[in-house]
Homo-oligomer: A and B are copies of this chain.
Amino acid sequence: MKKNDLETQFAELKTKVETLTKEGAENKLSMIMFSGDLDKVLAALIIASGAVAMGMDVVMFFTFWGTPILRDKGKKVGGKDLMGTMFGAMLPKGAGNLKLSKMNMGGMGTAMMKSLMKKKNVASVEEMLAVAGELGVKIYVCEMSMDLMGFTREEMIEYPNMDFCGVATFLEEAKSSKIQLFI
């Protein structure tokens, strides 16, 4: 092989490696918070803080039943239409108001789990959300869900790193992540 040939081939290989590096997944975890159940949200937040502790970036997308978790129970928003008022009344008002996905038993199972969590020194969802904010976990809220359920930005919690987005933002983050979970 001539020296010039080697140089040309070397340059080609270099480009390929750069493409691989650029397209490769980042040390990042993306989670779609769809369900909004107490147990699933708890699991997701434990995974999130564990991932940050390991040096990963963490991005959480709150959509559908996950959206009301981010409502601030202390904020009141008026001027909603009938549907918005109904959804507002029926859906949980914030992270302190979630139910178990199983064995809720009219609230008894959920109360039992919460008392158990306290006894075992497991932080509440509200506390974990605050910690996630301090740890730099990024939260995106699905604009379409907000619109569908009649939620406004004004009734959401204060969180250091929260944005409102559509599906494209989620997909961009997810496809550059090493781990993606639909929860």
Contact = CB atoms under 8 A, between A and B. Distances in A.
Interface in A69-95: 83, 86, 90
Q: Interface SS of chain A: helix, strand, loop or mixed?
A: helix
Nearest to A91: B103
Query: What range describes how many residues of A lie at the interface?
Result: 35 or more
Contact of A167 (B20, B50, B103, B116): B50
A178 B179 contact: no
Given A51-B171, A54-B168, A181-B180, A116 B83 contact: yes
Nearest to A122: B148
A47 B167 contact: yes
A57 to B, nearest CB: 12
A171 B170 CA distance: 21
A168 B43 contact: no
Interface of A: 1, 3, 6-7, 9-10, 13-14, 16-17, 20-21, 23-25, 27, 29, 32, 34-36, 39-40, 43, 46-47, 50-51, 53-54, 56, 63-65, 83, 86, 90, 101-103, 112, 116-117, 119-120, 122, 144, 147-148, 166-168, 170-172, 174-175, 178-183
